[in-house]
Structure 1
Amino acid sequence: MPQEKIKRIFRYVDVPELPELYSRLDAAIVDSNSTTASISAIIAEDTALAKCLVKLANCTLFRFSSRIETIDSAIDNIGARQIGDLALSVLILRMFDGMDPDIVSMQSYWRHSFACGITARILAAHRGEPNIERFFLAGLLHDIGGLLFYVHIPEQALMAILRARDGNGPLHHQEREIVGFDHALLGKVILQSWHLPEALQEAVEHHHTPELASTYAVEAATLHVADIIINAMQYGSRGEFIVSPVHPEAWERLGLPVSILQPTMEQIDYQFNSIVKVFFGEYCGGIV
């Protein structure tokens, strides 16, 4: 990405820093000498986070045969990397707790983001991907650039929404014309500044343009399809007024039959209420 464009972005937007606890947690997860106990000890420093992760381990996402009672058990059953991704999801949600931009309902924004994460996770499971929680995280974060648009450049963000509503083309096209970059590129820059994996960065950057993704084409395609499914099902919104067609190349990259769409939508409905109750419960900020 040209340095001048990055500088332009940071003239508009202040990117918040991730909590220090996550940096230590991530370092412990990638350290081959770490144990379940050492990873669990870092999470346990944040009692609310630990309780939330245990509740997530018992929700409809996982369906374990016996109840998970401790973080140690959650790590052993779900996996350390996967628990790290879920922890990051909770911590990011908290970072934006209390934010109340005039342009968009935060409830609608998070409904859309969570539903997209659930959908991306289900599609990844159909494909047999090894870490489907990373796809959930990608879905949760896919529109984070749009959220910072609303906070830092609200006038331009509103202008883009109004132009899209009046039939001038998709919202991300209007953002590029008005601001010079869209929420997807801003999202990539945010994830880059947080030192999150390149797979997440590329998927978020190209969730509207999956044909341009190269190294992580499947991740971008999954996010693209998930976003369109959720727009069609009307699970919240960040200001889109049209449901774009699925890019044929993206669907081809997934390698999934059309027959999975109906059971996928049924799973979305089944899982959504359960996971949102956990994330938006007493332990996770109470945004909704």
Structure 2
Amino acid sequence: MAQLTSDLSVPVKDVADRIGSDAELSKKMLEVVNSGFYKLAAPASSIEEAIQLLGYKKMCNLGVGLDLISHFLTEAGGPFDHARFWERSICHGVAAAAITSKLPSDLPADVFTVGLLQDIGVLFFVQYKPLEYGSALGVSKGQSTHMVLAEQDSIGVDHAKIGALLFRKWKLPKLLGDAVLSHHYYEADKTPARGIKTIL
């Protein structure tokens, strides 16, 4: 998916067909598109129509983000609130894209993907380290400790680090992975990822 949508010369219909071949991804994308976050005048009834309404790049970024997210369990169950997590993630992505569009900068268009996936490391913990992550949550809430510090203490690594490693594994741009790596900390430096971190 990421390779297909990174080539802007690919016809819209080809992208729509690729997304449409995955019924679950197609359903999820249309749910997000029609959820109110994008404030469409009328709901989109197909992926191709959604691309026409939102634009190629926005739909590609949404598709990439949701496609990568599908690597993890997304069904509700246990103490973790998946629905709230997804709602917050989508808000992050939409807000990051909206802020970027208002700035006279050369920040990458796929900042939406960074906003959407900035906490993907949390899902990694929920799926692969549920007991340790539960312990970190308890420490964070019980001792008013920053979640990143609680994760480092309970698991040995925080979700931002895991997120950056996943970005590298998925071969996403290093700039985006660097932003995810330190999105909880604003550093007064001039690194390329600084602008994205400020938005996140």
Alignment pair present for 1:117 and 2:99: no
Alignment pair present for 1:181 and 2:127: no
Against the structure 1 CA distance between its residues 27 and 88, is the aligned structure 2 distance closer, same or farther, given a 3 Å change threshold?
closer
| Aligned pairs (5 A) from 1:166-245 | 166-167=142-143, 169-211=145-187, 214-223=191-200
What residue in structure 2 maps to residue 36 of structure 1?
12
Against the structure 1 CA distance between its residues 180 and 59, is the aligned structure 2 distance closer, same or farther, given a 3 Å change threshold?
closer
Range moving further from structure 2, 54-63 or 41-50:
54-63
Against the structure 1 CA distance between its residues 108 and 73, is the aligned structure 2 distance closer, same or farther, given a 3 Å change threshold?
closer
Structure label with greater radius of gyration: 1
Against the structure 1 CA distance between its residues 149 and 49, is the aligned structure 2 distance closer, same or farther, given a 3 Å change threshold?
closer
Against the structure 1 CA distance between its residues 50 and 183, is the aligned structure 2 distance closer, same or farther, given a 3 Å change threshold?
closer
Structure 1 residue 60 displacement after superposition? 4.1
What residue in structure 2 maps to residue 165 of structure 1?
141
| Aligned pairs (5 A) from 1:59-138 | 60-63=36-39, 70-95=46-71, 96-98=73-75, 100=77, 102-127=78-103, 134-138=110-114
Against the structure 1 CA distance between its residues 132 and 156, is the aligned structure 2 distance closer, same or farther, given a 3 Å change threshold?
same
What residue in structure 2 maps to residue 46 of structure 1?
22
Greater RCO structure (CA 8 Å; 6+ sep)? 1
Give, as a single letter, the amino acid of the residue that structure 2 aligns with 1:176.
Q
Q: How far apart, CA to CA, are the structure 1 residues paired with 2:106 and 2:115? A: 16
TM-score, normalising length: structure 2: 0.77
Structure 1, unaligned runs of 5 or more: 1-21, 224-288
Q: How far apart, CA to CA, are the structure 2 residues paired with 1:62 and 1:109? A: 18
- Judge conservation of contact 1:58–1:64 (CA < 8 Å) in 2: yes
Q: How far apart, CA to CA, are the structure 2 residues paired with 1:165 and 1:174? A: 9
Structure 1 residue 78 displacement after superposition? 3.3
Q: How far apart, CA to CA, are the structure 2 residues paired with 1:58 and 1:179? A: 38
Against the structure 1 CA distance between its residues 184 and 69, is the aligned structure 2 distance closer, same or farther, given a 3 Å change threshold?
same
Q: How far apart, CA to CA, are the structure 2 residues paired with 1:130 and 1:55? A: 30
Q: How many residues align?
A: 198
Q: How far apart, CA to CA, are the structure 2 residues paired with 1:51 and 1:151? A: 23
What residue in structure 1 maps to residue 124 of structure 2?
148
1:183-202 CA-to-partner distances (Å, cap 9, x unmatched) read 11011111211112223312
Against the structure 1 CA distance between its residues 99 and 192, is the aligned structure 2 distance closer, same or farther, given a 3 Å change threshold?
farther
The sequence identity of aligned pairs, in percent, is 21
Structure 2, unaligned runs of 5 or more: none
Q: How far apart, CA to CA, are the structure 2 residues paired with 1:211 and 1:176? A: 20
Give, as a single letter, the amino acid of the residue that structure 2 aligns with 1:136.
F
Q: How far apart, CA to CA, are the structure 2 residues paired with 1:221 and 1:154? A: 30
TM-score, normalising length: structure 1: 0.57
Q: How far apart, CA to CA, are the structure 2 residues paired with 1:123 and 1:33? A: 27
- Judge conservation of contact 1:125–1:132 (CA < 8 Å) in 2: no
